[in-house]
Amino acid sequence: METLEIKEKEKATASIQNISGSQAVLEALVAENVDTIFGYPGGAIMPIYDSLYDYADKLKHILVRHEQGGIHAGQGYARSSGKVGVVFATSGPGATNLVTGLADAMIDSTPLVCITGQVFAHLLGTDAFQEVDVINITTPVTKWNYQVTDATEIPGVLAKAFYIAATGRPGPVLIDITKNAQLQKFDYEGYKKCDHIRSYRPKPIVRKKYVEEAAKLINEAKRPFVIFGQGIILGKAEKEFKAFIEKGGLPAAWTILGLSALETDHPLNVGMLGMHGNYGPNVLTNECDVLIAVGMRFDDRVTGRLDKYAKQAKVIHLDIDPAEIDKNVKATVPVWGDCKETLPMLTKLIEKKNHKDWISKFHEHIRKEAEVVIKDELNPTGEVLTMGEVIKVLNELTDGNAIIVTDVGQHQMVTCRYAKFNQSKSNITSGGAGTMGFALPAAIGAKYGAPERTVVAIIGDGGFQMTLQELGTIMQFDVDVKIIILNNQFLGMVRQWQQLFHEKRYSFVDITSPDYIQLAKAYKIEGRSICKREHLKNALNTMLTHKGSYLLEVMVGKENNVFPMVPQGRGVAEIILSKEEL
Amino acid sequence: MSKENNGIENLDITTPPGGHVVVDKSGKLEFTITVYTENQVGLLSRIAIMFSRRKINVESLNTSPSEIENIHRFTIVINEYEDVVRKLCRQIEKQVEVLKVYYNTNDELVWQEVALYKVPTGIIADIVKVERLLRQFGARVIAITKDYTIFETTGHREETDRLIKVFGQFGLIEFVRSARVAIIKDSSGFHEKLRQFEAREPGEDVIENEYLNQQDHIFTM
């Protein structure tokens, strides 16, 4: 009774302020513990930027050089911090420049709240200046989106936005706010975080029966094999996952977004899955008797030809998203739910085993791959530098503790194959969408998400030229990002395919680069270009110990290829170690 | 065997049901998808995109309020393989504002379509034995002018199609057919759930753009 009275009193004395919609936006961000916003102002979001002037002590705003840079920075921030990334853009072209990043965040399950300005509500549909139907454009690439035309909606809608972006299978949310709603004054009664939406069930109910069935299958298995994805990182279930595989003695391989969920050197970590993954995990996918997929979505880059994928295996699929179950690979036992909950349930029921003979089969394949591929990639005898040896030296110098952000292409595959990680949320890359230009802005965001950590962006000469204007952001905000350009003077991955599948018809993959060091200098960033092995370690060391950002260009072999490789249209067990096997 | 789209038990559905099932030349079945949703601006587009992205042609789409205030109901007819439909329904159900999705074959539903036929009054009055026609097809006259008469009939597509042929001989001026409306024979359970749901958590009112007609009164930059 007493408590009730106190609550009533509090309610009665709660001050109702008359504030603008744009102030309400910023109040919401403060209440959601947002510390950094990436954005670019413009006419239709000007009221929000005007209010932001008064919130400078609470909200840091990073002015990017292009809205695409803003959203990739938001993604990098979200991936390194585990929090929701926040992005501002104006209407029309500002908003449409977010679309690539939204698609990327959608497929890689990255939590984002993007706030776009929109023309006045009475102008909607009139082809007004910088009016674009951003809601309909972004519908397929957002988890949820909403257009606000009245300021009173703002607190409730933003609370929903943060809740939807961060819960269940995370994803990007876009809130489009008309200019009149930003300017409109209304009686603000405070911000209430959202913890429930009636038509939204972020987590499916875990069904004990299926956990028991899964445990039974694992206990009976002679050749169990775990494949894990980003679900473990998103679910903050790294400890639970490790306990699970260690008790069951289960060999585990990762998708590129799952990379860093388990330490690279863990004895049960058997490597990378998929098109450029390790030989053993790919071949043995078709030899295991129970395949346990945890928080991963059977992407076609992982499965190769579906009709040749793990046909012999009983499949246990743990996923928070019911729509992923049976989408590509039919599950024998589906375990719906958050793996933070389901993994301990499963661990409790499985028997302690070591599967020594079975795990040794992975090691046999690792030896074979080391002989044919890895040895030459990491310890080349030729004059020309390889991408792999750059990563190897980087591993030695960072001791596996850096956050590594990669762009898309050969360097991405090489980095994901050879980089070593000791802690989670260390590998940031564009997995599902394969967005070139991702890495430079994402690295900026990653540094703001984890300021205490070293952030190294590894980028190809092609991808770097797509968003290199973000060097300006690095310059202005003094962001400490180490940038390595692995320059092979080609759009390397396309060239590799042209070499292997198009009779070496190198159609428009020969790309000329500017003088990156001069370019960096123009942005007041120190840099160096190397092409000799004897300079590699020293150059990387200089880069890592340099105070502030640094750009290192490494000239690598022009026609080096990434192997192993599952050629398109083939099964995972048909992975090849060299072009001679094609 | 009405199929929900949120149950583990549905994972093992393999045998398409028999009965009055429509199978097209490629072996696809006619499925009716029933979607219960919040009443929200933009949701129609979000759901329509789910089909167009997969290049699935929607045969008919009806959206209307359901028996529960604030909850809308989409009835969507497509020809597809069951596996595709099941996956599609899961993706639709994933949408934040979607409450529930069912998919059914025709034998699991009671369904109707309304058809209107505009024909020249003179010809009809002179030649056609209207009374017989109306009895035979269960049609009703809903408007008569000196120029034309409008008939209405309700039924399955093949039934409404038959009347087109008849009127075709007598100068059919215009014809229109509605989207399918369908009731799942076996969905009483969800109706109850919906009622409890709405009583427990009333839906929000739709917010539309109230400023659209104020163009002349607002100064803009």
User: Residue A438: what pLDDT?
Assistant: 98
User: Residue A11: what pLDDT?
Assistant: 55
What integer is the mean pLDDT of A545-563? Answer: 97
- How deeply is A192 buried, as exposed, middle or buried, from its count of CB atoms within 10 A (0-12, 13-18, 19+)? exposed
A323 and B94 within 8 Å at the Cβ level: the answer is: yes
Q: Measured between CB atoms, does B79 come within 8 Å of chain A?
A: no
B201 and A331 within 8 Å at the Cβ level: the answer is: no
- Residue A156 distance to chain B (closest CA, Å): 11
User: Residue A568: what pLDDT?
Assistant: 86
B90 and A322 within 8 Å at the Cβ level: the answer is: yes
CA proximity to A386, closest of A556, A183, A531, A516: A556
Rounded CA-CA distance A238/A294 in Å is 11
Rounded CA-CA distance A565/A205 in Å is 39
- How deeply is A208 buried, as exposed, middle or buried, from its count of CB atoms within 10 A (0-12, 13-18, 19+)? exposed
CA proximity to A444, closest of A7, A9, A79: A79
Q: What is the pLDDT of residues A499-542, one digit of tens each?
A: 999 999 999 999 999 999 999 999 999 999 999 999 999 999 99
A124 and B42 within 8 Å at the Cβ level: the answer is: no
Q: What is the pLDDT of residues A6-47, one digit of tens each?
A: 565 555 445 689 999 999 999 999 999 999 999 999 999 999
> Quick one: pLDDT band at residue A116, thresholds 50, 70, 90?
very high
Chain B positions in Cβ-Cβ contact with residue A139 (cut-off 8 Å): 42, 45-46, 49
Beta carbons within 8 Å of A458's beta carbon, 6+ residues apart: A391, A404, A405, A406, A407, A411, A412, A415, A439, A484, A486
pLDDT exceeds cutoff 50 at B6: no
B209 and A149 within 8 Å at the Cβ level: the answer is: yes
> Quick one: pLDDT band at residue B189, thresholds 50, 70, 90?
low
User: Residue B132: what pLDDT?
Assistant: 80
B42 and A199 within 8 Å at the Cβ level: the answer is: no
User: Residue B215: what pLDDT?
Assistant: 66
B96 and A143 within 8 Å at the Cβ level: the answer is: yes
User: Residue A238: what pLDDT?
Assistant: 98
pLDDT exceeds cutoff 80 at A392: yes
Among A124, A197, A198, select the one facing B212 at the smallest CB separation: A124
Q: Residue type at B19? A: G
User: Residue A370: what pLDDT?
Assistant: 97
Dmax over CA atoms of chain B, in Å, equals 67
Where do we find the tokens 């046999």?
A364
Q: Flag the least confident range among A13-22, A132-141, A229-238.
A: A13-22
User: Residue B218: what pLDDT?
Assistant: 56
Among A150, A327, A336, select the one facing B87 at the smallest CB separation: A327
One-character DSSP codes across B20-69: S--B-TTSPEEEEEEEEEE--TTHHHHHHHHHHHTT--EEEEEEEE-SST
User: Residue B194: what pLDDT?
Assistant: 76
- Residue B212 distance to chain A (closest CA, Å): 4
Where do we find the tokens 């042609």?
B57
- Residue B1 distance to chain A (closest CA, Å): 20
Q: Measured between CB atoms, does B8 come within 8 Å of chain A?
A: yes
Where do we find the tokens 């880069």?
A543
pLDDT exceeds cutoff 70 at B22: no
Q: Flag the least confident range among A56-70, A340-354, B151-165.
A: B151-165
User: Residue B10: what pLDDT?
Assistant: 34
User: Residue B16: what pLDDT?
Assistant: 35
Rounded CA-CA distance A80/A487 in Å is 26
> Quick one: pLDDT band at residue A364, thresholds 50, 70, 90?
very high
Question: Among all residues of chain B, which has the CA nearest to that of A197?
Answer: B96
User: Residue B197: what pLDDT?
Assistant: 75
B94 and A121 within 8 Å at the Cβ level: the answer is: no
Tell me what the pLDDT averaged over chain A comes to. Answer: 96
Rounded CA-CA distance A362/A227 in Å is 14
Q: What is the pLDDT of residues B72-98, one digit of tens each?
A: 999 999 999 999 999 999 999 999 999
Query: By the 8 A CB rule, do A405 and A460 touch?
Result: no
What integer is the mean pLDDT of A70-91? Answer: 98
Beta carbons within 8 Å of A543's beta carbon, 6+ residues apart: A482, A484, A528, A550, A552
User: Residue B136: what pLDDT?
Assistant: 86
A123 and B96 within 8 Å at the Cβ level: the answer is: no
Chain A positions in Cβ-Cβ contact with residue B201 (cut-off 8 Å): 198
Q: What percent of chain B is modeled with pLDDT above 90?
A: 54
Interface test with A, best of B73, B96, B206 (most A CBs within 10 A): B96
Query: By the 8 A CB rule, do A284 and A365 touch?
Result: yes
Task: Please list, residue by residue across B177-206, b when 16 or more beta carbons sit within 10 angstroms of its beta carbon and e when fewer do.
Answer: bebbbbebeebeebeeebeebbeeeebeee
State the virtual CA torsion across A155, A159, A165, A169 in degrees, nearest 10.
-150
Where do we find the tokens 């209440």?
A31
Which residues of A are part of the catalytic machinery? Answer: 67, 129-130, 179, 493
Chain A positions in Cβ-Cβ contact with residue B207 (cut-off 8 Å): 149-150, 153
Interface test with B, best of A122, A126, A177, A298 (most B CBs within 10 A): A122
Q: Which two tokens stand for residue A267?
A: 């004895």
Among B94, B207, B211, select the one facing A180 at the smallest CB separation: B211
What integer is the mean pLDDT of A274-300? Answer: 97
- How deeply is A15 buried, as exposed, middle or buried, from its count of CB atoms within 10 A (0-12, 13-18, 19+)? exposed
Chain B positions in Cβ-Cβ contact with residue A153 (cut-off 8 Å): 207
User: Residue A533: what pLDDT?
Assistant: 97
User: Residue B214: what pLDDT?
Assistant: 74
pLDDT exceeds cutoff 60 at B11: no
Question: Among all residues of chain B, which has the CA nearest to that of A179?
Answer: B220
- Residue B108 distance to chain A (closest CA, Å): 24
pLDDT exceeds cutoff 60 at B9: no
What integer is the mean pLDDT of A151-170? Answer: 98
Q: How many beta carbons lie within 10 A of that of residue A471, not counting itself?
A: 25
- DSSP conformation class of A450: S
User: Residue B220: what pLDDT?
Assistant: 53
Q: Residue type at A331? A: A
Which residue would you say has higher pLDDT here, B12 or B86? B86
Task: Please list, residue by residue across B48-72, b when 16 or more beta carbons sit within 10 angstroms of its beta carbon and e when fewer do.
Answer: eebbeeeebeeebbebeebebebbb
- DSSP conformation class of B101: E
B8 and A124 within 8 Å at the Cβ level: the answer is: no
- Residue A121 distance to chain B (closest CA, Å): 6
Rounded CA-CA distance A65/A45 in Å is 16
Rounded CA-CA distance A77/A83 in Å is 8
Strand duo B140-144 + B148-155: pairing: antiparallel
Interface test with A, best of B3, B4, B8, B72 (most A CBs within 10 A): B8
User: Residue B204: what pLDDT?
Assistant: 77
Which residue would you say has higher pLDDT here, A452 or B210? A452
pLDDT exceeds cutoff 60 at B14: no
Q: Return phi, psi of residue A278, to 5°.
A: -80, 155
Q: Measured between CB atoms, does B218 come within 8 Å of chain A?
A: yes
Measured in whole angstroms, the distance separating CA A101 from the mean position of its chain's CA atoms is: 11
Question: Among all residues of chain B, which has the CA nearest to that of A334?
Answer: B8
pLDDT exceeds cutoff 90 at B13: no
Which residue would you say has higher pLDDT here, B217 or A88? A88
> Quick one: pLDDT band at residue A293, thresholds 50, 70, 90?
very high
Residue B177 β-bridge partners: B115
pLDDT exceeds cutoff 60 at A453: yes
Q: Which residues of A touch B (CB under 8 A)?
A: 43, 120-126, 135-136, 139-140, 143-147, 149-150, 153, 164, 178, 180, 197-200, 207, 210, 321-323, 325-327, 331, 334, 336
Which residue would you say has higher pLDDT here, A120 or B185? A120
- DSSP conformation class of A336: E
In this prediction the pTM is 0.93
Q: Measured between CB atoms, does B185 come within 8 Å of chain A?
A: no
Q: What percent of chain A is modeled with pLDDT above 70?
A: 97
A199 and B53 within 8 Å at the Cβ level: the answer is: no
A334 and B37 within 8 Å at the Cβ level: the answer is: no
CA proximity to A181, closest of A212, A137, A149: A149
User: Residue B170: what pLDDT?
Assistant: 84
Measured in whole angstroms, the distance separating CA B169 from the mean position of its chain's CA atoms is: 29
Chain B positions in Cβ-Cβ contact with residue A327 (cut-off 8 Å): 87, 90
Q: What percent of chain B is modeled with pLDDT above 70?
A: 85
> Quick one: pLDDT band at residue A183, thresholds 50, 70, 90?
very high
Question: Among all residues of chain B, which has the CA nearest to that of A335?
Answer: B8
User: Residue B205: what pLDDT?
Assistant: 78
Q: Which of residues 11-40 of B touch A (CB under 8 A)?
A: 11, 37-38
A149 and B93 within 8 Å at the Cβ level: the answer is: no
Query: By the 8 A CB rule, do A165 and A171 touch?
Result: yes
